[in-house]
Structure 1
Amino acid sequence: MAKWIARRSRLSQEYARILRKTYVAYFFFVALFLSFFVLSIRQFAWWQLSLLVLSAVSFGLAKSTQKDRGIYGQGLRGEKQVFRILKKLSSECIVAPNLRIGKGRRYEVDALVCTRGAVSIIEVKHYKGKIEKVDGRWLVSKTNYKKAIANPIEQLEDRMYCARQLLDHNGAKKALVRGVLVFAGDTLVDTAQQEQLKTEKVEIVFLSRGETKTLLKYLGTHGPAAIPAEKLYEALVGK
């Protein structure tokens, strides 16, 4: 089992914040509505309608978080699926999920895997639908619509460049830096589209296509330089 360095992600923190907001809004909705109901039974007064209005506002606030809860919850499920897989790496590997790297401008990395002579920067995406690339644009398509998404390859390459600079600056110039884009959950892709998405710098893995073993084999492969995983991790994040 890989050496695991746990951190709480910004994604999980934001999801927890949204849930708290939702629970508070539902609490006030129930409390205000019950107060209106009880008071109006005893003796109705016009001011009691304000309780009903506030109750409706609270319910609206609770419902307004539904979209964000879905987006963040989906992303969190994707990360957890990938993290369960990464724990299966050998004890030679160091895995650090939810890591921030960089000096000045800092980047959040979904997961960092260090093995002898190599560093892998992992970006996790979880979409409900099929991934397509049309005229250079990345799209998620469903039955009823298509939605453009930010190019995840460019996001990953920014993090790879940052890691390369840190390694060079801290005495690990010979270390290999790899980028891995993992599509989790039921994110789909056609075989022809998967070929179009390929790039020399980044390995792309779709878990929906049963590529778990491919991912583990790729991440567990050592780099050409005999630099311990511990030294590479320290070069990126410090001691």
Structure 2
Amino acid sequence: MTTAGNRKARQDARELATTPPPDPYRGALTDPYAGSGSATQATEPSRASSPVGQPPGREPAATSTSDHRPPAGNRTPGPAVLGGILAIGIGAVVGLFGLLLLAIISLQEEYGAPDRSFYRGSDSSYLLLALLDFALGACLLVGGISLLTGRLVGRVVVTAAGWTVLALCGFWWFQASVQALIPLIVGLLSLGMLVLCYQASVTRWLGVLPAAQPE
């Protein structure tokens, strides 16, 4: 085996050891009353069902079959946690930008020139950008929460909203009325969010790719 093959095998073995298995019960609906009858019967003492060598009334605790809990080792990977938190934070910031645009329109309408017919085009463009910011903020908030709960649709929504935020940052970068530092920071955070969402551990945790198998 070549050196590159040995390095690839060691990397696959390391990822296999550090990546938790996907939760087979993620998103499954459970009936809260499914195990109530069996749990009641398990608590009643019965001499006939007592095992040999054990006094009656002390049966071993029965395990409810409706308790579909994920394995203890199936924890959320760190990149998924950071990506979800960044998505929620960027969504709140983008929503705040939309609110500021509406505030600018309102202040210009109230304290600006008496005749603003010449500025109706810029006001309508600001209004459209504000509505777009609100929609992107809502998508990032919902997608970040869904990603933290282990749903693949959350990563899809975060990806679409993240690329749109990058495009908006490029648009605001060339605007003279906006400081270049603000779209730069938001764009870098969005890029970091996208990189974290597509790490190998996150992809395997979401169940998109099977776990790496040693040769």
Normalising by the residue count of structure 2, what TM-score does the alignment of the two structures yield? 0.33
Normalising by the residue count of structure 1, what TM-score does the alignment of the two structures yield? 0.30
More helix by percentage: 2
Q: Specify which structure has the bigger relative contact order, considering alpha-carbon pairs within 8 angstroms and separated by 6 or more residues.
A: 2
